[in-house]
Amino acid sequence: MIEWVHPGVILIVGAFIIPFLKGRWRKAYLLIPPVLAFIDLILMYMGVFGDIPASRWQLPFLGYELVFGRVDKLSLLFGLAFSLASVPVVLYGLNIKSSSELMSEFIYAGSSIGAVFAGDLITLYIFWEIMAITALLVILHGGTDRALGAGYRYILWHVAGGVILLAGIVMYIAGTGSIAFNAIGWSSPDLLLPSLLIFVGFIINAGAPPLHAWLPDSYPESTYAGSVYLSIFTTKTAVYVLARGFAGFGPLMWIGAFMTIYPIFYAVLENDLRKVLSYSIINQVGFMLCGIGIGTALAINGAVSHAFVHILYKGLLFMSIGSVLYRTGTTKITELGGLYKSMPITCICCVVGAASISAFPLFSGFTTKSMTIDAALAGNFALIFVLLQLAGAGVFEHAGIKVPFMTFFSEDRGIRVRDPPINMQIAMGTIAFLCILLGVYPHPLYQILPYSIDYVPYTTPHVVGQLQLLLFASFAFYVLMLSGIYPPERRTISLDTDWPLRMIGAKFMWFVKGPLMALGANLDQGLKRIASFFKGYGGELEERMLVGVSVLIALIFLAVYLLVELIYRWAIS
């Protein structure tokens, strides 16, 4: 039997070779680690490494067994999605000149795959924190003051989440005596608090409101390629761990439903296209969390399959807008328009991504999103069903219409730039092909889902119902635009749930720089005056003073001792 090589390790180790290569040699090499990782996953699925489930790469640690390679259908699906997406994403970023940025992106992708295959909570936490650090580096490579500020805020959120997660893990291990990462138990009252802490640690990475502001704040500040990486890994790793640990957890269903609705309003108002897409990530992850919360086989299949296709079409949308940024230097709607004339390939790929996220028939979103909606209907969750339908119309309005229309078909600003370099076009074209393939023929995806499935998306009620929903959303958008009710595109600053934290942070820094520094300065001056008082005495007088102080201290200690002794004798008498 061939020994399994960890696909995440392939990317992480491969990252450290990048600085030693230059020019064409480096470009040729960059594709090797992600291709090898993907081949590794394919061979694993084909059973070359043995039957699944299996646990490999075990390491003893403090009396426990760390499992770096737990392979089952759930981890395999997310591993395949991450490794499959890594190949065109690396191809897309071949023109990146910074070795440190490329290393950060490779390790970020590799640690995400490592988290997916982690069989215990300690190993998961290690990869979880590596993800946070390398994601920070990806953001900082945006190279602007805004990127620096967003990076600081990003790491503050994720350090807080990491501390909460670690506290929950330590308490959970103490309560159960096991480090295995399976379904998180709520059966014992002793496990309630650690389970809740672990849940909060996971949900922060999922970007669930009100703990979501780090996502639209930081993702748009990275480079044209960095944003693509960020859109793929962090939130979907959170979806995986929630599916692993909290499937069927009822509150998660309502959290997910709220997530699908909340960001729509911000996406409508936002002027930055990458921020629109960032809010759209929250909307789409909401569908996934809702399915995980429902917890039935159909709902779980719908959640994880939607995560799989979301990785592809969201990456495609960020690639399309990243290409616009690469050529024009901006992603502001108020500065763009009419680009279909000079960037036709990018325009087509963006439209494919928009159709996929909107769940148009014959595109990938249609074959997966309907599973979660049907699961809500089958479970008699009428309100959840209605909210998901409204959210489906909302995502079509902001990601399906607004992004491609405002970028490529709105008022011509006279910008004439070409499509991006050929490697970026091939990367976008590859993912666009996969979006159409999984929309027309979803059987290969259905085959690798955690539960056996006999689901047929292309039924008359599904197709007609979805087309009616999309036509209604299109008509509403058209009427609102003509009537002037639809918010006009302008430069805006949207106050999201991070503004109270920013206010508190500003007040805290004022306190540190003002009153606290003043208090410290006064104390310092007081101590200096006391020190100068004693220092003023010299020679014999100084020695006498020191002797006197020593005798005084001894007398004080003696008095305290006698007092305590008297109190003790009085108490026992």
Q: Is the pLDDT of residue 559 over 50?
A: yes
Q: Is the pLDDT of residue 214 over 80?
A: yes
User: Is pLDDT larger for residue 539 or for residue 186?
Assistant: 186
Q: Where does the pLDDT of residue 110 fall: very low under 50, low under 70, confident under 90, or very high at 90 and above? A: very high
Instruction: Find all residues with CB under 8 Å of 109, minimum gap 6, and list them.
Output: 11, 34, 82, 86, 89, 229, 232, 233
Q: What percent of the chain has pLDDT over 70?
A: 90
Cα separations in angstroms, 546 against 212, 241, 534: 61, 65, 9
Q: Is the pLDDT of residue 540 over 60?
A: no
pLDDT, tens digit, for every residue of 417-459?
A: 999 999 999 999 999 999 999 999 999 999 999 998 888 999 9
Residues 471-495 have a mean pLDDT of 73
Q: Where does the pLDDT of residue 56 fall: very low under 50, low under 70, confident under 90, or very high at 90 and above? A: low
Q: Is the pLDDT of residue 275 over 90?
A: yes
Which of 213, 236, 208, 219 is CA-nearest to residue 321? 219
User: Is pLDDT larger for residue 466 or for residue 187?
Assistant: 466
Quote the DSSP letter at residue 4. P
Highest averaged pLDDT of the listed ranges 3-17, 301-315, 538-552: 301-315
CB atoms closer than 10 angstroms to residue 468: 10
Q: Is the pLDDT of residue 219 over 70?
A: yes
Cα separations in angstroms, 245 against 173, 181, 189, 242, 337: 14, 7, 17, 5, 45
Which residue intervals of 270-296 are DSSP H helices?
273-294
Tokens of 477: 């958008």
Highest averaged pLDDT of the listed ranges 37-41, 345-349, 472-476: 345-349
Look at residue 486 and give its three-state secondary structure. Answer: coil
According to the model, what pLDDT value does residue 536 have? 53
Q: Is the pLDDT of residue 293 over 60?
A: yes
Distance of CA 75 to the CA centre of its chain: 17
Q: Is the pLDDT of residue 3 over 60?
A: no
Q: Where does the pLDDT of residue 1 fall: very low under 50, low under 70, confident under 90, or very high at 90 and above? A: very low
According to the model, what pLDDT value does residue 535 have? 56
According to the model, what pLDDT value does residue 2 have? 45
**pTM greater than the 0.85 cutoff:** yes
Look at residue 370 and give its three-state secondary structure. Answer: helix
Instruction: Find all residues with CB under 8 Å of 98, minimum gap 6, and list them.
Output: 141
Q: Where does the pLDDT of residue 39 fall: very low under 50, low under 70, confident under 90, or very high at 90 and above? A: very high
According to the model, what pLDDT value does residue 490 have? 67
Mean of pLDDT over the chain: 88
According to the model, what pLDDT value does residue 372 have? 93
DSSP E strand boundaries for 467-550: none
Q: Where does the pLDDT of residue 533 fall: very low under 50, low under 70, confident under 90, or very high at 90 and above? A: low
Give the integer Cα–Cα distance in Å for 131 and 230. 10
Q: Where does the pLDDT of residue 80 fall: very low under 50, low under 70, confident under 90, or very high at 90 and above? A: very high
Residues 469-483 have a mean pLDDT of 80
Tokens of 299: 């709902």
Give the integer Cα–Cα distance in Å for 34 and 23. 19
Instruction: Find all residues with CB under 8 Å of 261, minimum gap 6, and list them.
Output: 283, 286, 387, 390, 391, 394
